[in-house]
Amino acid sequence: MIEFQTTPGSYRHWRLSFEDSVATLSMDVDPDSTLFEGYQLKLNSYDLGVDIELYDAVQRLRFEHPEIKTVILDSALEKVFCAGANIRMLGGAAHAHKVNFCKFTNETRNAIEDASENSKQRYMCAIRGTAAGGGYELALATDYILMADDGNSAVSLPEVPLLAVLPGTGGLTRVVDKRKVRRDRADVFCTIEEGVRGPRAVDWRLVDEVVRGSKFDAAVQERALEMAASSDRPAQAGGVELTQLVKEVRENSLHYEYVEVSIDRGSRVATVIVRAPDSAVPADSGVEEAVGQGAGFWPLAACRQLDDAILHLRFNELEAGTLIFKTEGNADIVQAYDDIISNNQGHWLMREIALYWRRTLKRVDLTSRSTLAYVEPGSCFTGMLAELLFSVDRSYMLDGQFEDEALPAATIRLTESNFGSYPMSNGITRLQTRFLGEPETEDLCRATIGKPLDAMACDELGLVTYIPDFIDWDDETRLLIEERASFSADCLTGMEANLRFAGPETMETKIFGRLTAWQNWIFQRPNAVGAEGALQLYGSGARPNYDLKRV
């Protein structure tokens, strides 16, 4: 089982240090601390274990260190910044692991960009030595790349010539779309094993600045302080410690305080229930109390648990092809928490929590499983929890009550946050994406903010897919699950990837939609993964034997 929880005290691959408003996150990969057998993480190459620590560090820097305004990414090694994803690990990994690994590393790099842009905790990269492949892609996720001009330091994307695969963590997209490198230079750059160094790297827009070796450290510090000067993060606020998540993993279930996952292996369905807490934070003292509750504050706690649960399902439950989202609890309480966050976006912690929900909801959108929501009596699809409803492929809402059950009929409640706090990867909200064909419906929805909407109202607005009554509910949902389980898993992945993100495109959707799809294709082709493919033969001294046909 792959575990995503860690703490800085147990990091084996990163060193984190702090000086006033600047943190330094140094890559120092322990070659022997690998997630799987059969490879060594030499030259700051990485596997998922290294990236899990990076993800943890990025999260903690945001929540535990409001005073940190600039994060310097660098390397503890002298001649190497980072050699990218470990090739032997990739060569030995199953297709699903390769794909999930790339997705997770992409999400973490997006989280770095999100921290720079929205948390005002800006990342810069100080490259001394070679930044190859995933190493340069990590640098590309930062706002500013400073490279030593020492005849050795270089950036490169050698995947195409060396490994017959694509740079898997957004490199191609970021080169032409973020850094806007001219496409013919990008073509040259992506085919030169040794990469580009010195002033040419600046001239080609691959890095922002090169500095002679002796002046490098001073320049890094100077840029870090310049970046810090533009941040609005509070110098004096105390951080919120992300305490260890309490969870219990059983054979067919996973239990957190507010999130519960149960897996039906026969139907290959995982049901994810998110629960509201029993009591609300008083509106007048909400923010202070939230800070006081720290990691126990429900919106933060529930988000961390949901995030962890989704990652667990992705990596550890590959055959759970359908995820059903449910909620339980009092919608008034959920709305009270949602309002505190929405109404206090000037407060660093409330901003962080909203951004974390945004990232986690995107993680749901991007999960390669069929996703459903069941809206039943006792549920509380309100505010951020209503986003789950708009994230899924289909939603079923019971019209009325179940027989012989006391709970009143379910309602859905929209809040202000459904209209802007949680944009999807495509840059617009889930409701905007949902109603591209009838944008006037968004206004109708906005007029209902705070009001409980019953099944008929939700059906009329188009907020749910179907509203069966108690007579049809069991049959309809059973048939749905059976039907979904009968389809090809790959085909559903492809279909969902194309239906979920209508409307505008962003760098993120390009990375997850286009780049990922091409990479997945290449990860299936003999030229990369066949017995004579480049990924398999790398390091063996043997030359790959390619099928020459262009497709």
Which parts of 68-127 interact with its own copies (CB under 8 A)?
95-96, 99-100
- Residues 184, 248, 403, 440: which binds its own copies (CB under 8 A)? 184
Phi/psi at 453 (5° precision): -110, 120
Query: Per rule CB under 8 A, is residue 386 in the interface with its own copies?
Result: no
- Residues 369, 380, 397, 431: which binds its own copies (CB under 8 A)? 369
For residue 369, the minimal CB distance to its own copies (Å) is 6
- Residues 53, 114, 308, 496: which binds its own copies (CB under 8 A)? 496
For residue 267, the minimal CB distance to its own copies (Å) is 11
The torsion of the CA quartet 92, 98, 100, 106, rounded to 10 degrees, works out to 130
Stretch that binds its own copies, among 11-19, 117-125, 155-163, 239-247 (CB under 8 A): 155-163
Restricted to residues 248-287, the positions that interact with its own copies (CB under 8 A) are: 268
Residue 1 or 406: which CB sits closer to its own copies? 1
Rg (CA), the chain: 24
- Residues 7, 20, 79, 183: which binds its own copies (CB under 8 A)? 183
Q: What residue ranges in 191-268 does DSSP mark as E strands?
A: 209-212, 248-249, 253-255, 259-264
Restricted to residues 284-343, the positions that interact with its own copies (CB under 8 A) are: 318-321
- Residues 20, 117, 187, 405: which binds its own copies (CB under 8 A)? 187
Restricted to residues 405-434, the positions that interact with its own copies (CB under 8 A) are: 433-434
Query: Per rule CB under 8 A, is residue 200 in the interface with its own copies?
Result: no
Restricted to residues 203-242, the positions that interact with its own copies (CB under 8 A) are: 205
Residue 14 or 136: which CB sits closer to its own copies? 136
Instruction: Measure the CA–CA gap between 381 and 384, rounded to whole angstroms.
Output: 8
Restricted to residues 459-488, the positions that interact with its own copies (CB under 8 A) are: 462, 464-465, 483-484, 486-488
Torsion 197-202-204-207 (CA) sign? positive
Instruction: Measure the CA–CA gap between 378 and 326, rounded to whole angstroms.
Output: 10
Residue 18 or 487: which CB sits closer to its own copies? 487
With a CB cutoff of 8 Å and minimum separation 6, the contacts of 294 are: 240, 241, 243, 300
Residue 296 or 504: which CB sits closer to its own copies? 504
- Residues 493, 508, 536, 537: which binds its own copies (CB under 8 A)? 493
Which of helix, strand or coil describes residue 195? coil
Instruction: Measure the CA–CA gap between 298 and 284, rounded to whole angstroms.
Output: 17
Stretch that binds its own copies, among 4-12, 61-69, 179-187, 468-476 (CB under 8 A): 179-187
Residue 31 or 161: which CB sits closer to its own copies? 161
Instruction: Measure the CA–CA gap between 356 and 217, rounded to whole angstroms.
Output: 33
- Residue labelled with tokens 């009001």: 451
- Residues 358, 534, 536, 537: which binds its own copies (CB under 8 A)? 534
- Residues 19, 332, 460, 490: which binds its own copies (CB under 8 A)? 490
For residue 495, the minimal CB distance to its own copies (Å) is 5
For residue 483, the minimal CB distance to its own copies (Å) is 7
Instruction: Measure the CA–CA gap between 75 and 68, rounded to whole angstroms.
Output: 19
Residue 244 or 524: which CB sits closer to its own copies? 524
- Residues 160, 220, 290, 300: which binds its own copies (CB under 8 A)? 160
For residue 96, the minimal CB distance to its own copies (Å) is 5
Q: Tell me the number of residues near its own copies by CB under 8 A.
A: 93
**Checking phi first, is residue 170 left (phi over 0); if not, alpha (psi -120 to 50) or beta?**
left
- Angle between the N-to-C axes of helices 348-365 and 331-343, in degrees from 0 to 180, rounded to the nearest 10: 120
- Residues 30, 474, 524, 539: which binds its own copies (CB under 8 A)? 524
Judge residue 506's burial from the number of C-beta atoms within 10 Å of its C-beta, 0-12 exposed, 13-18 middle, 19 or more buried: middle
Contact 175, 206 (CB under 8 A): yes
Count of positions (residues) in the chain? 551
CA distances from 510 to 154, 270, 298 (A): 26, 29, 33
Residue 139 or 537: which CB sits closer to its own copies? 537
For residue 227, the minimal CB distance to its own copies (Å) is 21
Contact 400, 375 (CB under 8 A): no
Among residues 96, 83, 104, 167, the alpha carbon closest in space to that of 539 is found at 83
Query: Per rule CB under 8 A, is residue 172 in the interface with its own copies?
Result: yes
Instruction: Measure the CA–CA gap between 350 and 286, rounded to whole angstroms.
Output: 10
Q: Report which DSSP code applies to 153.
A: -
- Residues 83, 140, 176, 311: which binds its own copies (CB under 8 A)? 176
- Residues 191, 230, 253, 279: which binds its own copies (CB under 8 A)? 191
- Residues 12, 15, 185, 247: which binds its own copies (CB under 8 A)? 185
With a CB cutoff of 8 Å and minimum separation 6, the contacts of 327 are: 273, 274, 275, 276, 334, 379, 380, 381, 385, 388
Q: Report which DSSP code applies to 466.
A: B
Query: Per rule CB under 8 A, is residue 18 in the interface with its own copies?
Result: no
Query: Per rule CB under 8 A, is residue 494 in the interface with its own copies?
Result: yes
Residue 220 or 375: which CB sits closer to its own copies? 375
Instruction: Measure the CA–CA gap between 114 and 440, rounded to whole angstroms.
Output: 30
For residue 321, the minimal CB distance to its own copies (Å) is 5
- Residues 190, 211, 280, 384: which binds its own copies (CB under 8 A)? 190
Q: Report which DSSP code applies to 510.
A: I
